[in-house]
Amino acid sequence: MAMESATVLIIAVVLVLLSLLVLLRSRRPTNMPPGPGTFSFTSRFLLHPIFYQVPPHQIFYSYYKTYGPVYSVGLVGLSLVILHGAETIKEAFHNKFICDRPSVKILKHVLDGAGVAFSSGEAWKTQRRIAMTFMRDFGLNRTDFEDQVAVEAGHLLTEVAKHEGRPFSPYVLMANAVSNVICKVVFGTRYDYDDPQFKRLLGAIYRNIQLIGGVTGALQVLPGAHVFARFLPPVRETGENLKLICEFTRDVLEEHKKDFDPEHPRDFIDVYLREMEASSVNKSNVNMNDMYATVGDLFVAGTEATSTSVRWGMIYMMAHPEIQQRVQDEIDSVVGRQRFPTMADRPRLPYTEAVMLEIFRLGNVVPLGAPHQASQDTTIGGYHISKGSLVFANLGMLGLDEKVFPEPDKFKPERFLDESGQLSNRKYDLLPFSTGPRMCIGEQMSRTELFVFFTRLIHRFTFRKPTLAPPISFKGVAGITWSPLPFEICAVPRK
């Protein structure tokens, strides 16, 4: 941790010096979004202690109060455009010239492949087509995906029950369960939670999620960072973890080749093998590096966000036992105690649905989403956006707008219900999966996972705060996701 802090400080000093040079050598184009400018932003936050205590989406919100829904900040020759408000975000992310991703070069020496998350242009279209076709053909964006999730939820409930109501940390168990869902659809198999290879894979994935959410991620968009970044300890560690993930995938690939049948693909690996065989005909030019990158993207997108959402749900249920009891009463009334809730029950569980919406609202799981990049000069909100500008949407603050959500800091599921207790028809623009062509392709998959895991856990157990545990905290840790601080919980079996 001390090494990472020192790395951050060195980078911050370099950024300030470079920002001064940029300030002296450049002039602001006309009709640009308002903003604090390069030196003001860099010196105020990157060298100020508060930068390490306040999450970025809240820092950007403080600027929104001064500059409005579209503003820019300068950072070492980069123009960062920050968007606030659902309508502004929708306008920008449905603009075909705001669909690229920034070029990521600092790990190209480890993996030079085009995944679905950070590729652009034709490479992105190809990877997205493969992933979307796979999801469609295997039903991952339909409710019948529920059966696969339910199998893993059963294993999770068994592991939770072993604690017999005693305090435990849910982090590893939730990571195991959600990651195993992805393992099943990508590799065609699930792994025992004690499997050493599975534990190594998860360790690499979740450590990289932490690193990419910190120094490594910030360096990915910094021009020229690839020249020196590979020598920094966090980037070296990210690269080693990436190699391990690729090696795991390669081993699975070699096993699949032994009995591969292109007419009957079993999982994503088979689908990709078929795509590579056909690439010489359809000229899609996909290769194994592309597959490694896309598999990595599927794990990050399909594990961390869902696992984090369920853990936020545990915290809020533990903190609000009266709400937890009301959810349990509704499920018991509609479903009973002899079976688990299913997606078919969902329309008859309006309060449970409202609770999950409130978890999405306050959890702020991916508060800034992934950066977009302007592929050519364009406009947002009437302002000129220069080619190459990075565009971030402050998605996390949508749910905290007191004009839309009175008392935004309070957990109030009833805000999503009408007078009759049914889900309100009012449209709420929370956008937890972003919007436009680059929105999360696994939205329906994630919503299914959250419903199955959350409802089965709360149907089987009552969550309570351990007697000797510190006060419940709603503070989070900024990274790729906005995740809860480490906590323990008691899962008391229900009769």
399 Cβ neighbours under 8 A, 6+ residues apart: 360, 361, 362, 364, 405, 408, 430
Contacts with 407 (C-beta within 8 Å, 6 or more apart), sequence order = none
Q: In whole angstroms, what is the distance from residue 58 CA to residue 476 CA? A: 12
Distances (CA, A) of 314 to 52, 433, 487: 26, 21, 10
Angstrom CA distances, 12 to 52, 218, 298, 477, stand at 12, 11, 31, 20
Is 440 marked as a binding-site residue? yes
Using an 8 Å Cβ cutoff, are 104 and 220 in contact? yes
Q: Where are the alpha helices (DSSP H) in 26-45?
A: 38-41
Q: What residue spans of 33-114 are helical by DSSP H? A: 38-41, 56-67, 86-93
Report the SS3 class of residue 438. coil
CA distances from 92 to 87, 352, 367, 385 (A): 9, 33, 17, 10
d(CA 415, CA 359) in angstroms, rounded, equals 12
Q: Give kind and range of the element (H or E) at residue 81.
A: strand 78-83
Residues 432 and 366 sit within 8 Å (Cβ to Cβ): yes
Q: For residue 118, give the DSSP letter.
A: S
Residue type, 6: A
Number of residues in the chain:
495
DSSP code for 414:
G
- 409: amino acid identity, one letter: D
Retrieve residue 311's tokens: 């853990």
Largest Cα–Cα distance in the chain?
Answer: 71
Q: What whole-number distance in Å separates Cα of residue 340 and Cα of residue 459?
A: 7
Record the tokens describing residue 130, joined without a space.
Answer: 């493969």
Q: What is the residue whose two structure tokens read 């059966």?
A: 147
Which long-range CB contacts under 8 A does 119-125 form with residues at least 24 apart? 119/293, 120/373, 120/375, 121/375, 123/290
3-state secondary structure of 75: strand
Would you call 192 helix, strand, or coil by DSSP?
A: coil
Based on its alpha-carbon atoms, the radius of gyration of the chain, rounded to whole angstroms, reads 23
Q: Which residues contribute to the annotated binding site?
A: 440
Q: Pick out the residues of the known binding site for heme.
A: 440
